[in-house]
Structure formats: structure tokens, C-alpha cells
Structure 1
Amino acid sequence: MSPRPRRSSSTAQRQGTMKLTWLDIRGASAAQAVLEEALHQRLDGVVSDTLADLGNLPPTVRKILFPQGKALPDDLTVADVVIVDPREHGAPAELAQAHPGVEFGRFVEIVDAATLEDACQSARTERWSLLLFRDPTKIPLEIVIAAAAGAEGSTITIAQDVAEAEIVFGVLEHGSDGVMMAPGAVGDATALKQAAATETSPLDLVELTVIATEHVGMGERACVDTCSHFREDEGILVGSHSKGMILCVSETHPLPYMPTRPFRVNAGAIHSYTLSRDGRTHYLSELKSGSKVMAVDVKGQTRIVTVGRVKIESRPLISIDARAEDGRTVNLILQDDWHVRVLGPGGAVLNSTELKPGDRVLGHLPAEDRHVGYPINEFCLEK
């Protein structure tokens, strides 16, 4: 039998959009429903301790045998990957020689300094390392990730639930290459896939021409304070209508009477929309501690940041109307103050109170209307 072509575990990392997701169906309740969900969501791998569970899976999913506490079958041709405990099954390198069509990896349970060193060694040398950390601290995982820097293999960390998976994906800014999780119910596979999307797609930004500004009196505006540092060319998109937004810059640029606050965007009136993950919009008024918003730079590169606080206060407001080249119009209502700024072409920082007809600002024109923040193709008139 000729060796099967290896599926690259680093494809997702090279694309920079998705981590690996393994679903552990050993002893799962509603296993068939969970399995169908996993296949529909295109999870990367399905893990079982019996080959019978893997035999009928389609070639679109990696078939992973993890015979923890069980003897290793003689015929492993059904499996793509076999995770072994060397104390029970032998060394992965020797097993790979005996089964040339199968990839082997090592299971390590980290409970102390000695097993942490085993995990680091495995991450540096093995094709696959499946890691179980018994203590809740993520410091040992940080050490393994640092030790494995530049290694060709992949580390898969066992998570107890989706909340832990999200943390694992972000540890040390790099995260584990993947997560294995046992589903508690239908829906967990979908949530795990969403958690694995650690990066967001870029947005198309357009230049808008200011056509009018107007002082509109008092109202409530929201400052969005995040848990992240913004760059000088970065902010969040805000607009009065779902089909047009302007890029509001963060307070990373010096101001004459107050210190910079690189975590903050003075974002606009509370009715305004902003973008979060998966293209969904939220009103500024409904953001709160723990909410997610999309940070956007002048090149359209995006990332999701966490809201730490939203300050809503009564302030004078200014309305800005702008038009795209195709005739679509955009409105943004901001605090009527010189230090509130938006971004223009090339990262130009523009004071809102000094904007005048003919000035150019950067914006985004979503194609869909919105229903409770989700994009939908339906008739909707906003004015």
C-alpha cells in the first residue's frame, strides 16, 4: 500500500484565518447529531478511540484514533492520525515506520515540571502533540508554545469547553495550533469552529466626499474604551445607517489639553451602528464590558477587540454627511468638539469640527440591510 498524501496541518496557519478544530466523540451523547454538525461546519478532525467510528467519515475530515487506555489495533489504515501514549503503545517514530500510511503523534498529560518538559520536547520533535493541562493556569501552555517556535509539528490542546478554547487560541498571541474538545451538546461544534476564527477578513474602504456638516444640538454620545491599544491609523467604523460608515480614529494622537488614550474611540451618537465579528452590526448604546467590536485600519485590515467600558454622556453633537463616488450617502453624528476625529486617505487625522464640503474621509459601504444586526437582503429605507 502506498502512503496516503499528507494533509498539511499548517495550511490554516499559513492562510492566517483559522486554527485546527478536533471534535472528540468518545462517549459523546447524541453522537450522530453532533457528528453531522461537525461535518457540516467542516471541523478539521474527528477523534475516537475505535476505528469503527472513523470508517464511514468522508475524506473532507481528518480521522484521528486516540486509543487512550486501549491496545493499538494491528490494522490502522482507516486512520489518518493516531495519537499514542509512548508508555502504552511505543514511540511514535517507530510506529510510523511500521505503518507508513499513517501519521503518529504523542499524548502528554502535564501535571508537573517533568511532564511539562516532556510536552516541550514533543512539541519540538513530533508531528502531532496532543496536550492535556491538568492545572487551570495557562503558563505551562505559554512555555510549550514558546518552546515549539519554528517547529514543523502541530500542538493540539484539550479544552473542556468553548470558553476555554477561545482562551487557548489566544495564549501568548499565537495560541495553540489547534484544540480538541468533547461536545456537551449539539451546537458546540459550531461554537468551536467560530472560536477558531482568530483573525478577520479585510474590508473594502472607500473615499467619501464631505457634502455638509451641521450642528444638531445636544444628545448622548458613546466613548468606546477597549482592552487593546489602537495603532495611529486604526479606529472603528461608525455610521447612522447600516449601509454606510465612517472610520473614527482612536485617541492615539496627541491632544493639547489631555493625555492620549490609545484604547479609546470617541465613536458617536448612541443610535449609531458599528461592526463586530461575522459582519454583524451593533448599536453603540448596546455595547458593554465584554462586547466585541471590529478595529479597522486605513488599509482595511481588521481585528476583533474586546470592549472594557462604554461611557455615555450628554454632549453637543455635529452631523456629517458624505457621498461615495457611486452616489451613496453616509451620515455620522459625533460629539461637536475639535478633539473628536476621523481618518482620511493615507491616514490623515481630521478634526470633526473642521470638516467642510469637499474634504475626503475614509468609509465602508456594507451591501446588506440589517435585521437585529445581522446582514439580510430585504427592502429597508434608512434616512
Structure 2
Amino acid sequence: MRLTWLDIRTITAKEAALEEAVHQRLDGVVSDKLEDLQQLPPTVKKILFPQGKKLPKDLGGADLVIVDPREHGSPAELAAAHPGVDFGRFVEIIDADSLEEACESARTERWSLLLFRDPTKIPLEIVIAAAAQATGSLITIAQDAEEAEIIFGVLEHGSDGVMMAPAAVGDATALKQAAVVHTPALDLVELTVRATEHVGMGERACVDTCSYFREDEGILVGSHSKGMILCVSETHPLPYMPTRPFRVNAGAIHSYTLSRDGRTHYLSELKSGSKVMAVDVKGQTRLVTVGRVKIESRPLISIDAVSEDGRSVNLILQDDWHVRVLGPGGAVLNSTELRPGDRVLGYLPSEDRHVGYPINEFCVER
């Protein structure tokens, strides 16, 4: 679980920022004034950060106080003097000495708030590695939600949390979204092939991602938003050409695939930097970044399948033996060799779509 802290010390529209923070269920609100924290519900951690100011004698109302030992004393000494209040340490990293100070804090303190002055994330990587066996929490200051997403992904572990000052309404929401690093598992189903048909020429899309796929992974693709088939990546050996384990030969350009928050995208609108959902045969998912989409004219084949409860699914692929889908148990099935009665893995979303977002409305797709 990634922690999200909203820093309201320097903003003017504090009331709107606090309302958004509570609504989005951010984990903490940071201020240098105790009165700013008084009205927060118990679900939000009240964090006092009196940077450049004296520490109040009465810390009542604060759940956590972040201190600079040079100004306020060590967290351990302050914790002994103020029972019931947690203390954390602030470190600004500007050189090798302050980097070592941050590493020491990460290893020993319960809370470490880190400010990296240089744009490189190498120092953060070093601190994360230094704290690999520690039990405390690292909170890194970000300038915006885009940087927060990067911070959460550093070394595949990321910082435990991010503190960010909002520049506008909506920034708290963006910070919360940046902290969502896990995608939900999907309930895949077995579909029975009813028919295949050669449908002539058209444009198909190869989706080249910035990640390696596993042998049991691919992306879900379908002609209709309520039914998709799991197309395997090119991780399996093929005659005449090398494997390309970053690629899925996904289907005709009109097809849907899944992205963040259950949203669908047409294959035709994917581009460098887009996100798509990688799915394995057990339904486990992860978001991967698109590096390139290759759209070319090719012969196409249409595959019609049906679920046990009678729902129809269609997928149009490049009409070539080397384009494959996944079946039960991770079986790799060449699309041109599929016959009626064969079983493939698929997904059956229950909602209709409006501009890719799931919505419950009347909609017929044929």
C-alpha cells in the first residue's frame, strides 16, 4: 500500500484541498500549523512539519511530527519527551554526506521524509537499497503527480509514500491515482470456438510494449466490449523469425483492449506511452507501457466463440499461422488451426462502454 500525503503548508485554498484529500481518502495531511489539522477525520493522519519554525510545546492533535534534528532535536529524544506522539526525521539530500544521512535515517527511523534537490532518481535508489531490511517508512517529496508515479516505481519497490503540495484542484486525486500500483485480477473463462472465417484484407496492430511478457501472458482483445480473447505475446519460438517477447500481434485496429481502471481502448488509438493491461492465464494482471504500435495491412481471420452461458465473443486477427491465442492451462494455439469445439481463454466484462469507460446503459454490439 503506497502512502499519500498532501502538503498544505504553502497553499491558499486549504479548505478545498482538505475536502478533496478526505474525499479521495489520502493517508495524511501535512501542515506547519496544528489548527489546520484539527478538523480532519480520524481516517486521515495528522502530520505536523514545522520546517524552519520552532516546535510547539503542546503537540496535542498531531499523530506524527516530522523534525529536522538540527532545528528540533533527535526524534528519539522528542519521542521520550512527548509520549503518544510519533516522530519522523526530515533529510534534504544535496550531496554525498546528506545522502549518507538519508540512508542512516532510512535504516533507523520509523519515518523518514526525504527531499532530493537534484532531478536524478539515483540517490533515491541508493536510499531504498540501504533500507531494504528496515521496517520504517520512506516518504519522498514530489513536485507533481507525474513525478510521484515515477517515485513509486523506483527500483520496482519505490518509496513507501509521497508528499506533494497541490497546485490546483484535482492534484490530490492525481496523487491518489499515482499510488495505485496494483491492478485487480480478472475472472477468465473458457470459450468454445464456433467458427473461423477468412475475411479479407484489413489493418492489424502489433502492440510492442516496454516490458517482457511471460510465456503465459498476453493482452485481452475483442471486437466487442463485452467479450475478449487472450492473445499471447511472441515469447514462444517461431520458425523463420526470432522471438519478440515484448510484442503481442493483437488484432484488427477496431478491436478493444483493456487498460487502467477497467477502461477499454481501441488498438488504433494506442501510441507510445499508452498503458495496456497484461494478463496471464490465471487472470493476474499488471499495467505495461506501450513503446510502439505497428499498424499494417494484412489478411485477416475472424474467430467466433461462445461462453458456457451463451455469450458470443468475436476476435479478428492477422490471418497467419504464427499469430496465436492462449487456451486452458496456458496452451498456445495457432489462430489458423482453430476448429469448432476448441477451447480458448477469454474475459466477459459485464458493463457497456462510453468512450472506453464502463457504464450500465442499453447498448447492442454486433
Q: Which residue of 2 aligns with 1:363?
A: 346
- Which 4+ runs in 1 deviate beyond 6 A? none
Structure 1 residue 31: Cα displacement: 1.5
Amino acid at match of 1:194: Q
Q: Which residue of 1 aligns with 2:34?
A: 51
Q: Which residue of 1 aligns with 2:254?
A: 271
Distance 2:35 2:12 in 1: 17
Q: Of 204, 207, 224, which aligns to 2:187?
A: 204
Residue 307 of structure 1 pairs with residue 305 of structure 2:
no
Pairing 1:367-382 to 2, within 5 Å after superposition: 367-382=350-365
Q: Which residue of 2 aligns with 1:170?
A: 153
Where 1:237 maps in the other structure, the secondary structure is: strand
Q: Of 114, 118, 126, which aligns to 1:135?
A: 118
**CA-to-partner distance for each residue in 1:4-35, whole Å, 9 max, x for gaps?**
xxxxxxxx2xxxxxx10000001213211111
Q: Which residue of 1 aligns with 2:90?
A: 107
Gaps of at least 5 residues in structure 2 are none
Q: Which residue of 2 aligns with 1:231?
A: 214
Q: Which residue of 2 aligns with 1:98?
A: 81
Contact 1:29 1:184 in 2 (8 A): no
Residue 341 of structure 1 pairs with residue 335 of structure 2:
no
Distance 2:207 2:114 in 1: 38
Q: Which residue of 1 aligns with 2:45?
A: 62
Contact 1:215 1:319 in 2 (8 A): yes
Contact 1:29 1:185 in 2 (8 A): no
Distance 1:355 1:150 in 2: 50
Q: Which residue of 2 aligns with 1:35?
A: 18
Q: Of 59, 70, 74, which aligns to 1:76?
A: 59
Distance 2:49 2:329 in 1: 53
- The RMSD of aligned alpha carbons is 0.5
Q: Of 91, 106, 122, which aligns to 1:123?
A: 106
Residue 188 of structure 1 pairs with residue 171 of structure 2:
yes
Gaps of at least 5 residues in structure 1 are 1-11, 13-18
Structure 1 residue 318: Cα displacement: 0.3
Amino acid at match of 1:342: V
Residue 297 of structure 1 pairs with residue 263 of structure 2:
no
Q: Which residue of 1 aligns with 2:7?
A: 24
Amino acid at match of 1:141: L
**CA-to-partner distance for each residue in 1:76-124, whole Å, 9 max, x for gaps?**
1200110000000000011111112111000000000000000000001
Distance 2:221 2:52 in 1: 55
Residue 351 of structure 1 pairs with residue 351 of structure 2:
no
Distance 1:305 1:290 in 2: 9
Where 1:94 maps in the other structure, the secondary structure is: helix
Q: Which residue of 2 aligns with 1:251?
A: 234
Amino acid at match of 1:181: M
**CA-to-partner distance for each residue in 1:156-208, whole Å, 9 max, x for gaps?**
00000111101000000000000000000000000000000011111110010
Distance 2:207 2:13 in 1: 42
Structure 1 residue 213: Cα displacement: 0.5
Amino acid at match of 2:218: G
Structure 1 residue 270: Cα displacement: 0.2
Q: Which residue of 2 aligns with 1:4?
A: none
Sequence identity, in percent?
86
Where 2:18 maps in the other structure, the secondary structure is: helix
Distance 1:181 1:205 in 2: 38
Distance 1:175 1:244 in 2: 35
Count of aligned residue pairs for this structure pair: 366
Q: Which residue of 1 aligns with 2:127?
A: 144
Distance 1:367 1:94 in 2: 57
Distance 2:340 2:94 in 1: 65
Q: Which residue of 2 aligns with 1:288?
A: 271
Q: Which residue of 2 aligns with 1:7?
A: none
Q: Of 308, 312, 316, which aligns to 1:329?
A: 312
Distance 1:184 1:286 in 2: 30
